[in-house]
Structure 1
Amino acid sequence: MHLSNEQLLELPIYALNKTQKQAFLASQLSFLDNHHLQHCGMYQRLQQGCESISPLTVPLFKEFLLTSITAEDQHRLLTSSGTQGPTSKITLDSETAQLQSRVLTKTLQHWLGKQRLPMLVIDAKATIQKKAGMSARAAGIQGMLFFGRDPHFALNDDMTLNIEVIEQFFEKYKDTPVFMFGFTFIVWQQFIQQLVQMGKRYSFTQGMLLHGGGWKKMQQSAVSNDVFKQQIAQSLGAISVHDYYGMVEQTGTIYIECEHGHLHAPVWSDITVVDAATAEPLGNNQAGVILLNSVLPKSYPGHRLLTEDLGVIHGEDDCACGRLGKYFSVLGRLAKSQVRGCSDTFS
């Protein structure tokens, strides 16, 4: 049975067990398979010759405008944050955009609470003021501003530290819960490292830092998640640190790191780890390529995605944090991204 958007939003985020979740996902994804086959000619052509519905590889969204809506129904065009080469283009109608936004809200409120907290954005205000097409980074900040109040931007337009703003924020909110948000490498290099160099330390009494956007540059700098968290504790005090994983091709779906260091799949999405050579699913604790399913993309065929990321699933329904669903880690990017699905043979 296909669920309406309102019914989807009523689902508990981390409370369906494996059997319940797989039954729900199977029916929703099957509906989306047929929906996109009917409404997206390019998707139909990409699936020709595949024995069953094949997930699309992320680079296909860079090559083609894959859409299941008319130009008149396009409410927004999102682009990925790739710094080199072509970017993914994702078309949203107002219904899909609203569903993604509401799911993101519900997921984040689970971690942040419903009260909007004073917010320190670890980026420059100029990032969100560029008039050209909105980058994924700008869209990420814009989306997160909704969950904070009284936003302070920690960096100047040239990405140097705005120490005055940081001092003001600390003086005003050192004794109240705060929300900090930024992209992992920017948080580390432009914020934490600069604070260390200047010998600045703050002791916030409580708060949360949510950060994401890939560990590739961090690994090149030989910075582990543990080192990252230790340095934040030294520089900022009692701030709990949560990584998140997500991509523009499945906007609204966000995998947040729990207190035990694991990323969690919410009810509307699922992860499988597959062998890079055969695309066969792998068992728990086996490293492979991340395949993501999401029930949210209705305006474009992004519901089954083979990513260019490597990961490992640790388990399902038994994380020490108590949340149900699969929990996993992202290990990095595939070298030269050699994953090919059935639909990749299309040219």
Structure 2
Amino acid sequence: MTLATSVFSKSQAQREANLLDELVALTDHHRARSLEYRRILEATGHPAGRTYERVADLPWLPVRLFKTHALKSVPDDEVFKLLTSSGTTGAEVSRIFLDKEAAALQQRMLSAVLQQVVGPHRLPMLLVDTKALLKNRRSLSARGAGVLGLMNFGRNHVFVLDEEDRPDVEAVRTFLDKHGNEPFLIFGFTFMAWLYLYELASKEGFDLSNGILIHSGGWKKLIDRAVDNAEFRRRFAADTGLTKIYNYYGMVEQIGTIYLEGPSGDGLYCPDFADIIIRDPVTWAEVPVGTPGVVEVVSTLPRSYPGHVLLTEDLGVIHGIDDGSWPGKRFSIIGRLPRAEARGCSDTFEGAS
């Protein structure tokens, strides 16, 4: 890997100007290639030729639509990979269709984002998961896609859990004996990183001070343990020496786009090719900084399916703009909409006790 130019570089004004033209073009691209999407646009007052002055004016799709409709902008014979979300047991899952070009683009941009904190070289890597997750690579769950996607940034991979979902203490010990004195990468969904790495490392006295932890999702299960983001970071630092910790927000419906926590832990940030908008859950109007609402995510990456402007079922708040570690919006995810289906990934993990 080679270190990319920073993808956390544009002020909010620069970002808005660049994204607007690209997202309008993407809207037209998907309109021309997806009959279902074209019908939705026409039914919601967004006919061909309509002009838009702001990103917030663009038509959004509710993310749940991908659970009920097969929305794609490529022919069936060009579908290279089908990704599915990790819904709760018995729930419908989102289906995301990628052609080879889209799959390559999302991996390339994920690389550009993560290199900001990992650096240009592949590092020895601990995966707080089980290898059994990756048995069918053509049709991956969101959790599997997350693990497989992040594996590309490491080498000498070791899984913290065995194929029966039990902590493999000796595998972790051997990894740290071999690689613990140099920088190494750790990836895991948040709840699993806490339950299967923090608790194991603190109990066994493992030194993780040279680690870089990338983690996401699963905060809901930590509420009972009174662990929020600040406590998560504090306890890892105090009990294992791990201080380089980066939370991120992302979803299979915009695969490849992740919103990364700043180095000081002051919030999540949008890469230059993406943005978020917070909307009032009653009026759907954009709300000001500091006001919680429903998160809309926009990204220029989705080209094989119309997922470039999506209204999520997550609640968030923007803390500031152009005032933190990186330029652009600085925000947090604070929960789910009432009655929204619980997000999958680590929230659906039923590991061994």
CA contact (8 A) 2:4 2:115 kept: no
- 1:46-78 superposed Cα distances (whole Å, 9 cap, x missing partner): 223323452001110000000111001111111
Is it true that 1:337 corresponds to 2:337 in the alignment? no
Query: Aligned equivalents of 2:126 and 2:14: distance in 1?
Result: 39
2:291 to 286, 289, 292: 286
Query: Aligned equivalents of 1:156 and 1:64: distance in 2?
Result: 36
| Residue 37 of structure 1, CA deviation | 1.2
| Alignment RMSD (CA, Å) | 1.9
Match of 1:269 in 2: 274
Match of 1:91 in 2: 97
Query: Aligned equivalents of 2:311 and 2:287: distance in 1?
Result: 14
Counterparts of residues 127-166 of structure 1 (less than 5 Å): 127-130=133-136, 133-166=139-172
Is it true that 1:126 corresponds to 2:132 in the alignment? yes
Is it true that 1:179 corresponds to 2:179 in the alignment? no
| Residue 167 of structure 1, CA deviation | 0.7
Matched residue SS, 2:182? coil
1:64 to 61, 64, 69: 69
Query: Aligned equivalents of 2:158 and 2:240: distance in 1?
Result: 16
Is it true that 1:324 corresponds to 2:327 in the alignment? yes
Query: Aligned equivalents of 2:262 and 2:317: distance in 1?
Result: 16
Structure 1 residue ranges, 4+ long, deviating more than 6 angstroms after superposition? none
Match of 1:23 in 2: 17
CA contact (8 A) 1:17 1:324 kept: yes
Task: Give 2:12's aligned amino acid.
Answer: K
Question: Percent of counterpart pairs with the same letter?
Answer: 40
Deviates more, 1:45-54 or 1:143-152: 45-54
Is it true that 1:37 corresponds to 2:43 in the alignment? no
CA contact (8 A) 2:83 2:97 kept: yes
| Residue 239 of structure 1, CA deviation | 3.7
Match of 2:263 in 1: 259
CA contact (8 A) 1:289 1:311 kept: yes
Query: Aligned equivalents of 2:242 and 2:299: distance in 1?
Result: 34
| Residue 129 of structure 1, CA deviation | 2.3
| Residue 30 of structure 1, CA deviation | 0.3
Aligned residues between the structures: 326
Counterparts of residues 38-53 of structure 1 (less than 5 Å): 38-52=32-46, 53=58
| Residue 133 of structure 1, CA deviation | 2.5
Task: Give 2:15's aligned amino acid.
Answer: K
Match of 1:4 in 2: none
Query: Aligned equivalents of 1:207 and 1:195: distance in 2?
Result: 12
| Residue 187 of structure 1, CA deviation | 1.3
Query: Aligned equivalents of 2:20 and 2:225: distance in 1?
Result: 41
Deviates more, 1:204-213 or 1:270-279: 204-213
Consecutive unaligned residues in structure 2, runs of 5 or more? 47-57, 342-353
Consecutive unaligned residues in structure 1, runs of 5 or more? 1-8, 339-347
Match of 2:240 in 1: 236
Matched residue SS, 2:181? coil
